[in-house]
Amino acid sequence: MLNALTTGFTKDALLELSRQKGEPEWMLQKRLQAWEHYEQTPAPLGRRGDLGTLQNLSRFKFQELKPFVPAPDTALPPAIQQSLQESLVNERSGLIVQHNSSVVYIHLNDELKAQGVILTDLETAVREYPELVQEHFMTKCVPVTASKYTALHAAFWTGGFFLYVPSGVEIEAPILAQVWVDSSASAIFSHSLVITESQSSTRFVQEFTSSVEAEHPSLVSDVVEVIAKREAMVEFSNLQDLDQHTWLITNKNAMHENDASVTFVMADLGAQLNLNTIGAGLQGNGCAAELVGIFFTDHNQRYAINTLSDHVGVSTNAETMIKGVLTDESRVEFDGMIRIHKNAQQTASFLAAHGLLLSKKARGEFIPGLEIAANDVSASHGATTGQIDEEQLFYLMVRGIARPEAERIIVQGFFEPVLQRIPLENLRIRLRRSIISRMSGESVTEADTWVDAQERWEIEGVDEGAISLDDSTRSTSDEIELSEY
Q: Which of 69, 70, 92 is nearest to 175 (CA)?
A: 92
Burial 334-353 (b: 16+ CB within 10 A, else e): bbbbbbbbeebbbbebbbbb
Are 412 and 454 in contact by the 8 Å Cβ rule? The answer is yes
Average confidence (pLDDT) over 114-134 = 96
Amino acid 371: pLDDT: 96
**Residue 36 contacts by C-beta under 8 Å, 6 or more apart in sequence?**
none
Distances (CA, A) of 162 to 124, 223, 264: 9, 12, 17
Per-residue confidence band for 444, with pLDDT thresholds at 50, 70 and 90: low
Amino acid 441: pLDDT: 63
pLDDT of 476 strictly over 70: no
pLDDT of 482 strictly over 70: no
Neighbours of 172 (CB within 10 A): 9
Are 286 and 259 in contact by the 8 Å Cβ rule? The answer is yes
Per-residue confidence band for 78, with pLDDT thresholds at 50, 70 and 90: confident
pLDDT tens sequence across 164-181: 999 999 999 999 999 999
Average confidence (pLDDT) over 335-361 = 96
Pairing of strands 331-340, 363-372: parallel
Using a pLDDT cut of 70, give the percent of the chain over it.
86
Average confidence (pLDDT) over 342-371 = 95
Distances (CA, A) of 167 to 114, 195, 235, 287: 13, 10, 16, 17
Amino acid 38: pLDDT: 97
- Quote the strand ranges of 137-260, DSSP E: 161-165, 175-181, 187-196, 201-210, 218-228, 233-241, 246-256
Amino acid 449: pLDDT: 52
pTM of the predicted protein model:
0.90
pLDDT tens sequence across 12-35: 999 999 999 999 999 999 999 999
pLDDT of 230 strictly over 60: yes
Q: How many residues does the chain have?
A: 485
Amino acid 453: pLDDT: 44
SS3 call for 64? helix
pLDDT of 479 strictly over 70: no
For the ranges 115-124, 290-299, 458-467, which has the lowest average pLDDT? 458-467
pLDDT tens sequence across 366-422: 999 999 999 999 999 999 999 988 888 888 899 888 888 888 888 888 998 888 888
Cα–Cα distance, 126 to 123 (Å, whole number): 5
Q: What are the structural domain ranges in the chain?
A: 11-389+471-484
Cα–Cα distance, 459 to 136 (Å, whole number): 48
Are 370 and 379 in contact by the 8 Å Cβ rule? The answer is yes
- Quote the strand ranges of 257-313, DSSP E: 261-268, 273-282, 288-297, 302-311
**pLDDT higher for 251 or 183?**
251
pLDDT tens sequence across 301-336: 999 999 999 999 999 999 999 999 999 999 999 999
- What does the mean pLDDT of the chain come to? 88
pLDDT of 456 strictly over 90: no
Amino acid 4: pLDDT: 67
Q: Cα torsion for 279, 281, 285, 287, to the nearest 10°?
A: -30
